[in-house]
Amino acid sequence: MSVKRKGSAKERELANYFWERGCAVLRGCSSGGGVRKRYVPDIVAICRGVVLVFEVKYRSKASPIRLEPEKLEKLVEFARRAGGRPLLLVKYGRDPWRVLEAREKVDREEYEKSVELRAFLESLFSARLEEYFR
């Protein structure tokens, strides 16, 4: 399987994951390919009013992940326009997906300190529910 097809499969898997947990979700059409005037993130998930804008990075083996400065800038700008959070979804091999604040470089140590996607969504949902009871 080509790298591009593998990346697309991971993005579809994540989009389904968000949808199954009650989020509205969009996967950037042809994300990662072609020249375009506007930046399109890999995934935008809207979970109970919270807009999450993701760039997705997968590696079969633990190696540093780099996001080009221009792509990071565009991710941050898209999130700003959407009123959302610019985030990275990172996964190494069979490890769980992890959520990190958007940045240019992720090494294994930062990855290990980050929050698993499942726990991230649970904390997001519980924080939002508490707001309703105030």
Q: How far apart are CA 84 and CA 76, in angstroms?
A: 9
φ, ψ (nearest 5 deg) of residue 91: -145, 135
Distances in Å between the Cα of 26 and the Cα atoms of 47, 53, 63 are: 12, 10, 28
Residues taking part in catalysis: 31
Q: Is 131 annotated as a binding residue?
A: no
Q: Is 112 annotated as a binding residue?
A: no
Alpha helix segments (H runs only) across 39-116: 69-82, 108-113
Q: Is 11 annotated as a binding residue?
A: yes
User: Which residues 6+ apart lie within 8 Å of 45 measured at CB?
Assistant: 18, 23, 24, 25, 26, 51, 52, 54
Q: How far apart are CA 23 and CA 12, in angstroms?
A: 14
Binding site residue list for Mg(2+): 11, 42, 55
Binding site residue list: 11, 42, 55
